[in-house]
């Protein structure tokens, strides 16, 4: 069963907004055994949209469309769909009622332009959008399904979860699909592939292994398709176990969660606390941690000490240390991390100081030089990294490296 996703809107093509809808839909479709054949973004141009629909119909069984359903003249998806299917228009009373309720709730007048939103192609089935004024429209054409949804993410997600995916699962006989993700850190993609080459070569035809690299991390995803989910689960578990045993020292967790979430879960389970002392990462490590619900059970807080004066006053770094060795040095990050442990009274701490770039480097300490330290009350570990001259990448790499070092110390304990 093949699907295609089409997102409509000039704002996507000029980079004004990022198309997150397609990624989310593709993931949900994959979970129920539907393969996404192609994802396209098209402009607010009728002929462009017509061409995209015609091409998608040739490639896929299910075409999911988002965007272009607003009340203004640049929103032309509904008119274009009516033209594509050769339909006129009708007023959908259910949609009109929802639109009227929304405007009444906010005590705003219901304009003609808003009433017009309740007009739909007369041959479609309307799926009521209880979270917005734009209707969701379901078309059937010669055993092909076209579904047009609002581009607002939370409206689209609600419609997909509550209405569209259940209908698709009822209408089509879909294969079982099983995924297993193994998160690794501290080893490159090519070295990882070499380590497990023989296991990968032994995989049966219906089980695929994908490598998903991301700055300092590689996710391994085993995917199996077939008719019997229980059998697939057993087969995937067997190969997952083989891979984990082979690369044990690089495995973070056998679950599809971020590195920092895996660390939070581990520390919470052990009743451990964490603080941070960040310079060049500017609070990015704290952000990664605190974006997860429940992080306060582990993470107590920290300091973003960009200036040397704050490194001294907040973290207790000695003036002579900074004068002798500089802010980007082993000695400074050690005093930063041990100062964090002492002042914030946590079980573990992270400190980072470096030259993120694009300027500020010297011959001895070029841009991309980053010192990281991890400590608990028994041990302090410091390490220097030499990243690139790209500021954002250096910040992200430093954060991932710091978290990986923390994980390794946690494993030792």
Please indicate, yes or no, whether residues 120 and 166 belong to a single structural domain of this protein.
yes
Give the span between the Cα atoms of 101 and 260, in whole angstroms.
43
Residues 80 and 207 in one domain: no
d(CA 413, CA 400): 20
Peptide bond into 26 cis (omega under 30): no
Domain boundary among 238, 253, 268: 253
For residue 140, the surrounding DSSP H or E stretch is: strand 136-141
Domain finish residue from 153, 171, 189: 171
Last residue of a domain, one of 128, 156, 171: 171
Are 162 and 189 members of one domain? no
Which residues make beta-bridge pairs with 353? 371
Give the per-residue pLDDT at 115.
86
Alpha-carbon span 145 to 79, nearest angstrom = 18
- Do residue 73 and residue 164 come from a single domain? yes
**Which pLDDT belongs to residue 88?**
96
Q: Are residues 230 and 117 in the same domain?
A: no
Same domain assignment for residues 374 and 408: yes
Domain co-membership, 326 together with 231 = no
If asked whether residues 388 and 264 sit together in one domain, one would say: yes
Total tally of structural domains belonging to the chain: 3
pLDDT of 268 reads: 97
Task: Give the domain CATH number at 94.
Answer: 3.40.980.10
d(CA 336, CA 306): 12
pLDDT at residue 13, rounded to an integer: 94
Query: Do residue 130 and residue 98 come from a single domain?
Result: yes
Interhelix angle for 77-85 vs 46-59, to 10°? 60
* CATH number of the domain to which 187 belongs: 3.30.70.2860
> What's the token pair of residue 271?
């009743």
Residue-number span of the structural domain to which 266 is assigned: 259-412
User: What 3-state class would DSSP assign to 207?
Assistant: strand
Q: Which residues of the chain have pLDDT under 70?
A: none
Q: Which two tokens stand for residue 111?
A: 């304009």
pLDDT value of residue 70? 83
Task: Indicate if 147 and 91 belong to the same structural domain.
Answer: yes
- Eight-class DSSP state of 305: -
**In terms of DSSP bridges, do strands 144-149 and 136-141 run parallel, antiparallel, or are they unpaired?**
antiparallel
| Same domain flag for 134 and 220 | no
Q: What is the pLDDT of residues 168-185, one digit of tens each?
A: 999 888 999 999 999 999
Please indicate, yes or no, whether residues 292 and 242 belong to a single structural domain of this protein. no
The enclosing domain of 355 has a CATH number of 3.90.950.20
* Positive or negative torsion for Cα 66, 71, 77, 82: positive
Q: 3-state DSSP: the chain helix, strand, coil percent, rounded to 5?
A: 45, 25, 30
Q: Which residues pair with 214 in a beta bridge?
A: 217
């Amino acid at each position: 069963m093949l699907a295609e996703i089409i997102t409509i809107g000039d704002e996507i093509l000029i980079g004004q907004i990022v198309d997150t809808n397609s990624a989310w839909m593709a993931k949900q479709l994959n979970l129920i055994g539907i393969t996404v054949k192609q994802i396209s973004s098209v402009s607010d141009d009728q002929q462009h949209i017509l061409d995209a629909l015609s091409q998608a119909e040739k490639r896929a069984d299910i075409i999911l469309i988002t965007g272009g359903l607003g009340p203004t003249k640049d929103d032309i998806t509904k008119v274009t769909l009516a033209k594509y299917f050769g339909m006129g228009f009708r007023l959908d009373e259910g949609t009109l009622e929802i639109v009227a309720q929304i405007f009444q709730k906010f005590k705003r007048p219901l304009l003609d332009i808003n009433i017009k939103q309740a007009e739909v192609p007369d041959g479609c089935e309307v799926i009521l959008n209880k979270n917005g004024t734009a209707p969701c429209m379901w078309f059937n054409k010669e055993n092909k399904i076209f579904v047009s949804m609002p581009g607002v993410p939370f409206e689209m997600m609600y419609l997909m979860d509550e209405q569209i995916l259940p209908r698709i699962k009822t209408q089509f006989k879909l294969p079982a699909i099983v995924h297993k993700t193994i998160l690794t850190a501290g080893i490159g993609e090519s070295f990882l592939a070499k380590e497990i080459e023989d296991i990968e070569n032994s995989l049966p035809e219906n089980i695929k292994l994908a490598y998903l690299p991301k700055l300092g991390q590689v996710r391994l995803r085993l995917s199996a398709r077939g008719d019997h989910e229980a059998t697939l689960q057993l087969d995937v578990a067997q190969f997952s176990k083989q891979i984990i045993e082979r690369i044990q020292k690089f495995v973070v967790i056998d679950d599809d969660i971020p590195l920092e979430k895996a660390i939070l879960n581990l520390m919470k389970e052990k009743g451990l606390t964490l603080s941070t002392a960040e310079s060049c990462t500017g609070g990015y490590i704290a952000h990664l941690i605190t974006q997860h619900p429940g992080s306060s059970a582990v993470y107590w807080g920290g300091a973003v000490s960009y200036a040397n004066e704050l490194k001294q006053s907040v973290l207790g770094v000695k003036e002579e240390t900074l004068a002798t060795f500089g802010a980007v040095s082993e000695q400074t990050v050690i005093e930063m991390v041990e100062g964090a442990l002492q002042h914030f009274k946590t079980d573990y701490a992270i400190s980072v100081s470096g030259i993120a770039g694009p300027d500020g480097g010297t011959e001895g300490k070029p841009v991309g030089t980053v010192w990281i330290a991890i400590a608990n009350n028994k041990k302090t570990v410091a390490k220097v990294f030499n990243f690139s001259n790209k500021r954002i990448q250096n910040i992200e790499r430093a954060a991932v490296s710091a978290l990986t070092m923390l994980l390794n110390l946690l494993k030792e304990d």
